[in-house]
Amino acid sequence: MDIFCKIINGEVPTYKLYEDEIVLAFLDVNPNHNGHTLIVPKKHYENFFDIDEETLRHILLIGKNIAKELKEKLNYDGISLCQNNGYGQEVKHFHLHLIPKYENENKLSVEEIYNILK
């Protein structure tokens, strides 16, 4: 069982930002930048080629909503969406990264970011 399945099952604590019956979104514990968020489907899909289109669309819609919230609360200057497959995919469970980018970033802890967002 991969780390994301354990997080979804409640076996590993996380900084949850959003959850519904299809996805779980949470802050990355090793963020590239403040507000680095992962959106993970609750059903296990290994990668982009496994995931069904309905779930993929849902992930993108939730990502857009979260990106707007991150912009409102963290005031980033840009945002990258990243999704890795095969070589370079550390966890073999589909996930979308939302990575805010800042011209001038005052790095905060994940807990500090979580408190700003909640």
Task: Round to the nearest angstrom and report the end-to-end CA distance of the chain.
Answer: 29
Q: Rounded mean pLDDT of 19-40? A: 97
What whole-number distance in Å separates Cα of residue 87 and Cα of residue 62? 26
User: Which candidate in 36, 93, 95, 97 is catalytic?
Assistant: 95
**pLDDT for 36:** 98
60-72 per-position pLDDT tens digit: 999 999 999 999 9
Q: What percent of the chain has pLDDT over 90?
A: 94
Is 95 noted as a catalytic residue in this protein? yes
What whole-number distance in Å separates Cα of residue 6 and Cα of residue 2? 6
**pLDDT for 88:** 83
Residue 26 maps to which CATH number? 3.30.428.10
Please give the residue range of the domain that contains residue 109: 3-117
Number of domains observed in the structure of the chain: 1
